[in-house]
């Protein structure tokens, strides 16, 4: 990879890569691995265009970071050359800890460790490969740097991560409800007392952003069939683990069939970084012929897109109804009632449009220099109701 590079992104156009550190990160095998992890897990079974990868998303977030840094600099924020490249390195690596099918299998494949923790560990290990050039990036990423706004660009209610994934997921799914005016939001960002704020005239763009997020959740991320796909995937992993089904991938076998504590996992990062969506799908293809009926039916159905029927409602499902359905499934498949729980089960999906109680506020800088939360402006769109988590109950069952 040459020192100066232009990458074609269908969403943002040309992405410029200039700094040698950025080039080195992108060239690293662990970063390239993100090409083999779908950004939206199995959502492509519902939105067939949504086959984009974690790599493309993180490149896109990097591109927005370049713009954000330019925009806030032009309004007087001081960002040194070192901070400039560090914050870009950090955003490139923010998702490096994702495993196969990212959120869908998070805490399933490797229980007890989330992707942020893994990202930090992997950054540390890459830092060793890269002569400690990631020191500042890690410091910003873990919010230990003395300029909090740099961390907020990476992780906050209005970070470039969300701006990219909403825009990108909207683009690839074709769901126009998620389109946000990120160019305008970026132009409205401003640094005040080392905090990232939004100028008053940006209020409507931020509202739009929050509403777009709400809509992408209900229409895409928590879409009942997307939910069904992802729960099928979880059930497959659970069953494979239960019956100790061997995968053709040795790396997958290691995490599937052994229990590690956190420290042990952090010693296995090389192994972890060999995992991607291909290990899982190939195993599923193999398991479709497994002699265990539960496993083989789940796998075959996922591959052939015979997906669970899924229903969402605001109240929990009746236990009797569930048992009745399980009985039927057990009979239909000639399996035990316990095994039928793989085919009929319930759960909860939660979404919060804007968390008031959270320490992640969106603060507006008014012309009179006062700072207020966006839910405290005149005639707010973002109100009490939207700031409480919305819980929905779902039931999945064999069709």
Toward its own copies, which CB reaches closer, 9 or 117? 9
Distance CA 155, CA 382 (A): 20
Contact flag: residue 205 with its own copies (CB under 8 A): yes
Residues 62 to 101 in contact with its own copies, rule: CB under 8 A? none
- Tell me which stretch binds its own copies (CB under 8 A): 26-34, 80-88, 108-116, 237-245: 26-34
Toward its own copies, which CB reaches closer, 92 or 340? 92
Contact flag: residue 218 with its own copies (CB under 8 A): yes
Q: What DSSP line would sit under 189-202, residue for residue? A: EEEETTEEEEEGGG
Backbone phi, psi, residue 16, to 5°: -95, 130
User: Which residues have CB under 8 Å from 208's CB, separation 6+?
Assistant: 180, 181
Between the alpha carbon of residue 346 and those of residues 62, 92, 290, 304, 395, the distances in Å are: 38, 36, 26, 23, 4
User: Which residues have CB under 8 Å from 14's CB, separation 6+?
Assistant: 6, 7, 8
Q: Give yes or no for a contact between 115 and 272, defined as CB atoms under 8 angstroms apart.
A: no
Toward its own copies, which CB reaches closer, 106 or 169? 169
Toward its own copies, which CB reaches closer, 14 or 334? 14
Q: Give yes or no for a contact between 337 and 330, defined as CB atoms under 8 angstroms apart.
A: yes
Distance CA 14, CA 328 (A): 55
Among 7, 108, 130, 254, binds its own copies (CB under 8 A): 7
Among 47, 101, 149, 394, binds its own copies (CB under 8 A): 47
Among 261, 334, 370, 385, binds its own copies (CB under 8 A): 385
Among 19, 124, 125, 208, binds its own copies (CB under 8 A): 208
Contact flag: residue 287 with its own copies (CB under 8 A): no
Toward its own copies, which CB reaches closer, 35 or 293? 35
| Geometric angle at alpha carbon 371, from 366 and 376, rounded to 5° | 90
Count other Cβ atoms within 10 Å, centred on residue 57. 25
| Binding-site size, its own copies (CB under 8 A) | 68
Toward its own copies, which CB reaches closer, 347 or 380? 380
Distance CA 81, CA 79 (A): 7
Q: Give me the residues that bind its own copies (CB under 8 A), please.
A: 6-11, 13-14, 27, 29, 32, 35-36, 44-45, 47-49, 51-53, 55-56, 59, 171-177, 179-181, 183-184, 187, 204-205, 207-208, 211-212, 214-215, 218-219, 248-249, 274, 278-279, 281-282, 285-286, 303-305, 314, 378-381, 383, 385-386, 390
């Amino acid at each position: 990879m040459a020192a100066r590079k232009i990458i074609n992104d269908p969403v943002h156009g040309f992405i410029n890569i200039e700094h040698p550190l950025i080039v080195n990160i992108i060239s690293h095998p662990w970063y390239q691995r993100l090409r083999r992890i779908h950004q939206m897990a199995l959502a492509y079974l519902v939105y067939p265009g949504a086959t984009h990868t974690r790599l493309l998303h993180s490149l896109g977030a990097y591109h927005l970071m370049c713009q954000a840094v330019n925009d806030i600099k032009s309004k007087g924020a001081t960002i040194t050359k070192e901070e400039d490249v560090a914050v870009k390195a950090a955003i490139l690596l923010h998702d490096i800890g994702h495993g196969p099918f990212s959120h869908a299998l998070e805490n399933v494949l490797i229980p007890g460790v989330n992707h942020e923790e893994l990202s930090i560990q992997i950054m540390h290990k890459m830092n060793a490969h890269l002569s400690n050039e990631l020191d500042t990036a890690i410091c910003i990423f873990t919010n230990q740097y003395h300029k909090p706004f740099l961390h907020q660009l990476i992780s906050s209610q209005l970070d470039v991560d969300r701006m990219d994934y909403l825009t990108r997921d909207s683009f690839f799914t074709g769901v126009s409800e998620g389109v946000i005016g990120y160019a305008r939001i970026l132009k409205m960002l401003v640094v005040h007392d080392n905090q990232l704020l939004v100028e008053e005239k940006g209020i409507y763009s931020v509202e739009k952003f929050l509403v777009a997020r709400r809509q992408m959740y209900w229409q895409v991320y928590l879409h009942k069939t997307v939910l069904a796909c992802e729960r099928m995937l979880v059930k497959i992993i659970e069953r494979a683990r239960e019956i100790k089904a061997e995968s053709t991938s040795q790396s997958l076998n290691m995490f599937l069939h052994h229990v590690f504590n956190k420290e042990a996992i952090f010693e296995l990062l090389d192994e972890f970084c060999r995992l991607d969506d291909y290990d899982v799908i190939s195993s599923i293809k193999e398991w479709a012929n497994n002699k265990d009926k539960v496993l083989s039916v789940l796998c075959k159905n996922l591959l052939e897109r015979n997906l669970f029927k899924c229903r969402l409602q605001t109240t929990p499902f009746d236990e009797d109804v569930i048992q009745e359905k399980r009985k039927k499934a057990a009979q239909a498949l000639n399996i035990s009632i316990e095994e039928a729980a793989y085919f009929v089960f319930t759960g909860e999906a939660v979404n919060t449009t804007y968390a008031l109680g959270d320490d992640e506020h969106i603060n507006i800088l008014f012309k009179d220099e006062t700072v207020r939360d966006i839910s405290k402006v005149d005639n707010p769109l973002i109100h009490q109701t939207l700031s409480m988590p919305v819980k929905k109950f779902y039931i999945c069952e064999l069709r």
